[in-house]
Amino acid sequence: MKSSTKPRSGNPNPVKGRMAQRQQMLPAPGTVLELQKRLWHVIDEMTGRVDKETPIQDLTRLAHALAQTSAAYLKALDVGEFEARLQAFEKELHELRQAAGRPASTGPRPQATVN
């Protein structure tokens, strides 16, 4: 068997090439608020599918999915609340530093994104 130092594709670094392709396929990261809206929509859709004639197996699956989605939604609410509070604190700190005549640090942090 022959060993070749050059990849068959001709790309000198195939890992970087695959990573670039993966980045193109992934959707753009969203905000915590967008995640909250999407999760709430899913929870609303799931609760709308329950009726008296739903089989017990489907109800248990739906209950599990609803519990998992609800937990993720509550976590996103917490993160969103902490993010808003942190931004308010950083803004206040920035204003206090300006009032004291001290140079501001790097300024407000960028918003957290969710993939």
Each residue's pLDDT, cut to its tens digit, for the chain (115 residues) gives 555 555 566 666 667 777 777 777 766 667 778 888 888 888 888 888 778 888 888 888 888 988 898 888 888 888 888 888 899 999 999 999 888 887 656 555 666 666 5
What is the residue range of 54's domain? 29-114
SS3 85: helix
Residue 6 belongs to some domain of the structure: no
Residue 8 belongs to some domain of the structure: no
pTM reported for the whole predicted model: 0.48
Residue 7 belongs to some domain of the structure: no
Question: How many domains does one find in the chain?
Answer: 1
Angstrom distance (rounded) from CA 6 to CA 15: 13
Residue 11 belongs to some domain of the structure: no
Angstrom distance (rounded) from CA 74 to CA 10: 48
Residue 103 belongs to some domain of the structure: yes
Would you list the DSSP string of 90-109? Answer: HHHHHHHHHHTTPPP-S-SP
